[in-house]
Chains A and B, each alone.
Chain A
């Protein structure tokens, strides 16, 4: 409290003398931090630097060392399950992510509509994001059970047809996992894009309206160009996160039927812990790097050039 009373007059005094303020700033903070201050600054950083080296750099180096034998990769590429996994991963990322982001974009427009009803709906709509992923994916797994699951019973009661057993063939199982992913994460991205839309000044839209751009044309020519950068960053981030998505596949399909629906994240864990071949598991993960590294570079560059102010 004593500090607080002294801060204001000093601040005023400094502010009236911009040159002095500039000099003080550079002397005390920007340039060379003197003796004890430098020690303090370093001390504040050290915990994070330690965490980074012990828990990020060391595991990464260890992983690269584990997966450095060339013969691992010949073994990996000759595994038919690995080939299927690559196809699954490509479909999972290419279809599910884009579908999710596009639906999120449209839904964010839907939730821009005024009224308490929409706000209440949004509160319910974000529920999947609030619920931990494990219980809901287990629930979906049971929901899709051909015999006892809620979904097929519902379909039978309403339409009187026997729906297929979703999790016993490769493509319906993969589709189910993709829809589960969309179910879980679409609300999050909708909220992000909604915030992006809210940040668009209403004057721009009003001006476009005066010029005759309403509805779909307003979206194509006004909202979307302004959202495009955010949309791109979100899609890239989502792709990277989903490349490491373990829970969805593991709990919805379990990689089955007969290991046909694995993605790289679950296949690595399967090799390492079910088949006790950790090096092969690491190799599977490393084989995703040719995709991951360019994505990360593009994303880092995007982050730097466009400050992500949503």
Chain B
């Protein structure tokens, strides 16, 4: 809007015009801001309603659950107290089961990182012959829905006598976490110059030394992203844990939580308190590693 070369009258007219334009623009900006504000509130409501429901019910007293209030009339921490002291028969082994979940998560994370990073090293750094076959096999596994393999997997574990054994679950989780891990590792590995490996090789480093001293340290960001992914996958997964673990002592938390639904009059406040205790660790892990997670996810695509 350069008015410098215009004649005086044109300048005046232009000024008036630009003033109305500016006013219209401001009105439009206000309308946009208000619309965005209303939309934001609606979005918050949509996002937080189920989560509010969990928290609200978890703070309700035993008689409050079937009252249909929007807010607990007498907020109580009874539910949490029962969870912490294992004071209900569905929760009798809660802390043991919590430990099982941690065990499964840690083992899945470690094995996924070890197996996938070793295979990726061999394929993309050592360039083993026909390595693309292995990559494609992994990619194919990535796109098979895990629940479709559940029945044969269960039968096989039954034949091996591994049901009610945490290692059967760990095997399943590792199987479904490694393909994504290899995908990410191979994508990320491209940013590490090949010359590093070569010069180490010339200096007499063996492949295993290159793997531990050069490859793994440089892959640290990808390892963190994939490790978080594997940990959350193992912690959150339900179907395989439900099918493979039915014994009270070998159960993990999600299986114990879903057990509540078997009873006719479920104590919803205990159940929701259990749900909160179960959901908090992954939320913390998620927000802690969020930046790395998202960069990892956006690095290679996709999987929730």
Cβ-defined partner of A143 (8 Å) among B53, B69, B147, B156: B53
Complex Cα–Cα for A132 and B233 (A): 9
Q: Is the CB of A134 within 8 A of B147?
A: no
Question: Interface readout for B191-219 with A: 1 if CB under 8 Å, 0 if not?
Answer: 00011111111110111110101100000
Chain A residues, CB < 8 A from B209: 3
Question: Interface readout for B246-280 with A: 1 if CB under 8 Å, 0 if not?
Answer: 00000000100110010000001001100110110
Q: Is the CB of A192 within 8 A of B302?
A: yes
**8 interchain pairs, CB-CB under 8 A:** A7-B203, A52-B134, A60-B152, A66-B152, A125-B47, A126-B290, A154-B70, A192-B298
Interface size for A (C-beta < 8 A) is 102
Cβ-defined partner of B200 (8 Å) among A3, A138, A148: A3
Q: Is the CB of B145 within 8 A of A241?
A: yes
Known: A49-B134, A288-B148. A310 touches B50 (CB 8 A): no
Nearest-neighbour CB distance to chain B for A64, whole angstroms, equals 9
In the complex, whether B174 has a CB less than 8 A from a CB of chain A is yes
Q: Is the CB of B254 within 8 A of A134?
A: yes
Q: Is the CB of A142 within 8 A of B57?
A: yes
Cβ-defined partner of B195 (8 Å) among A21, A38, A58, A191: A21
Q: Is the CB of B149 within 8 A of A134?
A: no
Chain A residues, CB < 8 A from B115: 47-48, 51
**Majority-rule SS of A interface residues:** helix
Q: Is the CB of A44 within 8 A of B126?
A: yes
Ranked nearest first, the 7 interchain pairs of A and B with the lowest CB-CB distance are A244-B145, A135-B275, A44-B122, A63-B152, A48-B119, A130-B286, A195-B298
Known: A24-B202, A153-B68, A272-B151. A139 touches B123 (CB 8 A): no
Cβ-defined partner of B47 (8 Å) among A60, A128, A278: A128
Nearest-neighbour CB distance to chain A for B194, whole angstroms, equals 7
In the complex, whether A246 has a CB less than 8 A from a CB of chain B is yes
Chain B residues, CB < 8 A from A7: 196, 199-200, 203
In the complex, whether B25 has a CB less than 8 A from a CB of chain A is no
Q: Is the CB of B143 within 8 A of A237?
A: yes
In the complex, whether B297 has a CB less than 8 A from a CB of chain A is yes
In the complex, whether A83 has a CB less than 8 A from a CB of chain B is no
Q: Is the CB of B148 within 8 A of A48?
A: no
In the complex, whether B226 has a CB less than 8 A from a CB of chain A is no
Known: A7-B196, A244-B146. A40 touches B68 (CB 8 A): no
In the complex, whether B1 has a CB less than 8 A from a CB of chain A is no
In the complex, whether B118 has a CB less than 8 A from a CB of chain A is yes
Nearest-neighbour CB distance to chain A for B75, whole angstroms, equals 15
Known: A127-B47, A132-B282. A244 touches B202 (CB 8 A): no
Q: Is the CB of A25 within 8 A of B151?
A: no
Q: Is the CB of A300 within 8 A of B140?
A: yes
Complex Cα–Cα for A192 and B283 (A): 19
Complex Cα–Cα for A272 and B151 (A): 7
Known: A28-B198, A56-B175, A246-B239. A153 touches B272 (CB 8 A): no
